[in-house]
Amino acid sequence: MIVLGIESSCDETGVALYDTGRGLLAHAIHTQVAMHEAYGGVVPELASRDHIRRLIPLLDWVLAEAGAAKADIDGIAYTAGPGLAGALLVGSSFAAALAQALGVPALPVHHLEGHLLSPLLAADPPTFPFVALLVSGGHTQLMRVAGVGAYELLGESVDDAAGEAFDKTAKLLGLGYPGGPQLAELAGKGGPTGLKLPRPMLKSGDFQFSFSGLKTAVLTQVHGRTLSAQERADLAWEFQEAVTEVLTEKSVMAVRHCELDSLVVAGGVGANRRLRQRLDARAAAAGLRVYYPEVALCTDNGAMIAYCGAQRLLRGQCGAPGGAFGVRPRWPLAESSALL
């Protein structure tokens, strides 16, 4: 079966074709970063309009790349939430209309489930059960994953997500949007100084996180001062050390707590090289294995949505062809099996 995946929850339009027998056939992503850059963040209405412009050309491109026709599509998976309401509605109405026209089911997918299962698209995928560290712009969660649809939340951030902390701290350091990758690049030019930022909740004994205090600690360092280029790089380095240390230690703790030996890392911050370095080193010492999606599939993409939709279809978890469509801008993953 071939499933078309549509992702439009924020500022990336992703379209992909996944074949349950042959794997990922093609995927394409259009990022709106350049469009939102001038505003220092995502402008929801601009995002929605751009998704409208991009979806049909991206669909045509993936069909051509896969050597497939619309008639070959057996189901259409789309991100139903969480995300920006208008942006989600573009993807869901596109999916519902095409599903209706082709007489195939439209499959609502939870965006975080997409990230969570994206490492299963890799050439050497993990096997269930595993612990997943979900680190995106909106979420930081540790989850026990027993199988497709079986997710137990172990802990999460009580305030800012790790990606959000990267983005806000990048802004404090005068960097552009999106801040995560730019801060990581700046950190590469920095190193240790006498300054030590806090490691929030490192010793809390649970799987909760907190990153907003770290951003405030950086604010205290930059407030009313003009930092040299080297001082900014050193501060970025120390911030990245603090975030990646907490994420690494808590993840290893969670895998041990669940008496498992695999950790899966997903979401945009999973692209961070220092985080990967730390996790690999700690995991090797602890006899654990860490799995990552390929870097192109760490951030938002249609491939992970197509994959989740395919799992639904394989299990017969789909409604009638076409069917109702809806979005849930706020949608806890624990409720994702609930009907929209």
Question: Which chain residues interact with ligand KG4 by CB under 6 A?
Answer: 115, 136-138, 163-164, 166-167, 178-181, 184, 267-269, 271-272, 299-300
Integer CA distances (angstroms), 243 to 170, 269, 280, in order: 13, 10, 16
Q: Which does 126 bind (CB under 5 to 8 A by kind): Zn ion, ligand KG4, none?
A: none
Q: Compute the least distance from the CB of residue 266 to ligand KG4, in Å.
A: 8
Tokens at 295, concatenated: 């870097």
> Which is closer to Zn ion, CB of 15 or CB of 258?
15
Angle between helices 212-222 and 229-257 (to 10 degrees): 160
Integer CA distances (angstroms), 40 to 31, 47, 103, 177, 178, in order: 15, 14, 42, 6, 8
> Which is closer to Zn ion, CB of 236 or CB of 266?
266
Q: Compute the least distance from the CB of residue 137 to Zn ion, in Å.
A: 7
> Which is closer to ligand KG4, CB of 32 or CB of 311?
32
Q: Which does 180 bind (CB under 5 to 8 A by kind): ligand KG4, Zn ion, none?
A: ligand KG4
Instruction: Compute the distance between CA of residue 188 and CA of residue 237 in angstroms, rounded to an integer.
Output: 7
Q: Which does 75 bind (CB under 5 to 8 A by kind): Zn ion, ligand KG4, none?
A: none
> In the block, which residue shows the tokens 């370095």?
277
Tokens at 315, concatenated: 């299990």
Q: Compute the least distance from the CB of residue 133 to ligand KG4, in Å.
A: 12
Please check whether residue 176 is in contact with residue 184, taking contact to mean a CB–CB distance below 8 angstroms: no
Integer CA distances (angstroms), 330 to 231, 242, 255, 256, in order: 39, 29, 28, 31
> Which is closer to ligand KG4, CB of 102 or CB of 133?
133
Q: Which does 163 bind (CB under 5 to 8 A by kind): Zn ion, ligand KG4, none?
A: ligand KG4
Q: Give residue 175's region: left, alpha or beta (phi > 0; psi -120 to 50).
A: beta
151, 300, 311, 328: residue in contact with Zn ion (rule CB under 5 A): 300
DSSP calls for 3-48? EEEEE-SSSEEEEEEEETTTEEEEEEEEE-HHHHHTTTS--HHHHH
Instruction: Compute the distance between CA of residue 62 and CA of residue 59 in angstroms, rounded to an integer.
Output: 5
Q: Compute the least distance from the CB of residue 321 to ligand KG4, in Å.
A: 29
- Asked if 164 interacts with Zn ion (CB under 5 A), we say no
- Asked if 136 interacts with Zn ion (CB under 5 A), we say yes
> Which is closer to ligand KG4, CB of 107 or CB of 112?
112
Q: Compute φ and ψ for 158, nearest 5 degrees.
A: -85, -10
Q: Compute the least distance from the CB of residue 35 to Zn ion, in Å.
A: 18
Please check whether residue 117 is in contact with residue 141, taking contact to mean a CB–CB distance below 8 angstroms: no
Residues 44-103 that bind Zn ion (CB under 5 A): none
> Which is closer to Zn ion, CB of 168 or CB of 232?
168
Longest pairwise C-alpha distance within the chain: 64
Q: Compute the least distance from the CB of residue 166 to ligand KG4, in Å.
A: 4
Q: Which does 167 bind (CB under 5 to 8 A by kind): Zn ion, ligand KG4, none?
A: ligand KG4
Q: Compute the least distance from the CB of residue 332 to ligand KG4, in Å.
A: 15
Q: Which does 178 bind (CB under 5 to 8 A by kind): ligand KG4, Zn ion, none?
A: ligand KG4
The footprint of Zn ion (CB under 5 A) covers: 136, 300
